[in-house]
Amino acid sequence: MLYLLESNYKDSVKEYDFTSKMPYDENGFIYDWYGTKREDFEDVVSKMIDSQTGEGLPEGYVPETIYFLWDNDEIVGMFRFRHYLCPSLAEGAGHIGYYIGEEFRGKGYAAKGLALLIKETKDRLREDEYYIRANKDNIASQKTVLKNGGYIHHTDKDKVYMRIRK
With respect to residue 165, please indicate whether it lies within any of the assigned structural domains.
no
- We report the CATH number of the domain holding residue 43 as 3.40.630.30
- Please write the tens of the pLDDT for every residue from 43-77: 999 999 999 998 888 888 899 999 999 999 999 99
- Looking at the domain assignment, is residue 151 inside a domain? no
Answer whether residue 106 is part of any domain: yes
Q: Mean pLDDT, to the nearest integer, of 103-120?
A: 97
pLDDT of residue 57: 85
Predicted local confidence at residue 59, as pLDDT: 84
Instruction: Say if 150 falls within a structural domain.
Output: no
DSSP E strands, the chain: 2-6, 25-26, 29-30, 64-71, 74-82, 96-100, 129-135, 151-155, 159-165
**What average pLDDT score do residues 8-21 get?**
97
